[in-house]
Amino acid sequence: MALRLKKNDSVKVMTGEHKGATGRIIKVFPDKNTALVEGVNVVKRHTKPNPKNQQGGIVQKEAGINLSNLMLVDPKTGEPTRIGIKAQSDGKRVRFAKKSKELVD
C-alpha cells in the first residue's frame, strides 16, 4: 500500500500524549510505519562529546509517531481530513483531501 503522508505535509496528531498538536513532517520511515513531526513528541537524549557535538550534554530531538495517529491538515479548510488517491487524465496518480476535494501536492 502506498504511503499517504509524505515529507513536508502539515499534519495533526489525533491520539496519544500529543493529541491536538500540529506540525510538519520532517521524515517518514515506511519500514517502521512512523514519521518525525516538527515540534511534536520531543525527547531528551544524553550525548557524549564527539566531533559533531564538541560540548556533549542533553540534546532534545523529535521521536517517531505512528502514521495511524496522524491526519493531514486540509490545505483549504485547515481541518484534519482523510486522503484519497486518484488518477489524472495523463495517468499520473495524485493525492487529494476528501473533505474539500482539493489536490494536496
Domain coordinates in residue numbering, the chain = 10-97
User: pLDDT tens for residues 85-102?
Assistant: 999 999 999 999 999 999
Q: Are 62 and 37 in contact (CB under 8 A)?
A: yes
| Across 2-31, average pLDDT | 93
* DSSP line for 74-104: PTTT-SEE-EEEEE-TTS-EEEEETTT--B-
Asked whether the whole model's pTM tops 0.75, one would answer: yes
Given this model, what pLDDT does residue 2 score?
62
- In CATH, which of 2.60.40.10, 2.50.20.10, 2.30.30.30, 3.40.50.970 is domain 10-97? 2.30.30.30
User: pLDDT tens for residues 21-36?
Assistant: 999 999 999 999 999 9
Question: Is it the case that residue 40 has pLDDT exceeding 80?
Answer: yes
